[in-house]
Structure 1
Amino acid sequence: MRLTRQTNYAIRILMYLATNPGRLSKLGDVARSYAAPEPFMFKILQPLVGSGLVETVRGRNGGIRLGRPAATITLREVVVLMEENFAMAECFDGGTTDCPLVFHCELNAALRQALEAFLSTLGRFSIADLVENRPFLSETLGIPMATEHAALS
């Protein structure tokens, strides 16, 4: 199974925000960190905000931040939110097919088990797990560390 670009960047947005805890981030800064167009990132941000994973603060000094602690946001939750379709074959879950075995084939059962194993594994990892090396991520993404941020204020 291959995740879409949108899912990949949704996870990256959440990682950025988790690397910058307790502070607001500008979407433009997030987009620049990943060399991604800001309109593309804005499109990805919408379902994250709608689901409460990210919250926005309006105004001149506004921005975005995690809507929940990073440790409570699982990769499974993000993938299920962002992916439109988990059909692994054209006949998955009764999809359109001309295969005569569609209603008596064990392939669908095997694919369902594989998908559940995949999602179950993702459920064991949180966004916090992905940002354990916060100093490296901060440096790589250009996010000032908390002490630097306080000195800049």
Structure 2
Amino acid sequence: MKLTVHTDYGLRVLMTLAVMDGRLVTIDDLARRHRVSKNHLMKVVQTLVGLGLVKTVRGRGGGLMLAKAPEDIRMGAVVQALETDMALVSCLGNGPSECVLIGACRLTAALQRALGSFIAELDRLSLSDLVAKPQGIRQRLALTA
């Protein structure tokens, strides 16, 4: 299983905002610090805003900040919200499957349990857990304390 770039960037944005101590950060600044496409990041931020995880402040001196406390943001829920398709194989998806073994094998149930365990493990973590040592993240992003 591989998370999409959209989810990867979303998690990075959340971690960055969590170590900003309430200071606003612009999409331009995020794109520069993470060395990623501003256009792609704009789409990611739009999704995070829609999910109620990030809020925007418009105007001169505006930017982005977390909309919730980091300890209230569960990583499993974030990944599920950002990923458009969590089906590890076609028989786990909502659409038609080309697999001729549907209903005859035990792989589907095993993969469902594995996916459930993956999400449950991530849900054990809050955003604050991911940034428990903010100085390291701030240093990597060249942020001042």
- Residue 151 of structure 1: aligned partner: none
Q: How many residues align?
A: 144
Partner Cα distance (2:114, 2:62) in 1: 42
Give the C-alpha shift of residue 93 in structure 1. 4.6
Whether contact under 8 Å (2:90, 2:99) holds in the other structure is: no
SS at match of 2:55: strand
2:140 and 2:106 map into 1 onto residues whose CA distance is 46
TM (norm. structure 2) is 0.93
Instruction: Name the amino acid aligned to 2:110.
Output: A
The farther-off stretch of 21-30 and 88-97 is 88-97
| SS state at 2:35 partner | coil
> Residue deviations 1:9-37, cap 9 Å, x none?
10000000001021111111111111011
Q: Give the TM-score, by structure 1 length.
A: 0.89
Shift of 1:104: 3.4
TM-align CA RMSD: 1.3
Question: Does residue 2 of structure 1 match 2:2?
Answer: yes
Q: CA contact under 8 A between 1:93 and 1:108: conserved in structure 2?
A: no
- Match runs of 1:1-150 below 5 Å: 1-93=1-93, 95-99=96-100, 101-145=101-145
Q: List, as ranges, runs of 4+ consecutive aligned residues in structure 1 with deviation greater than 3 Å.
A: none
CA distance in structure 1 between the aligned counterparts of 2:99 and 2:42, rounded to whole angstroms: 40
Distance 1:23 1:90 in 2: 43
Q: Which has the larger radius of gyration?
A: 1
Give the residue type in structure 2 aligned to 1:42: M
Equivalent residue letter for 1:14: L
* Contact preservation (8 Å) 1:47, 1:81: no
Aligned equivalents of 1:98, 1:142: Cα separation in 2: 49
Percent identity reads 38
| Letter in structure 2 aligned against 1:132 | A
- Assess if the C-alpha contact under 8 Å between 2:18 and 2:70 holds in 1: yes
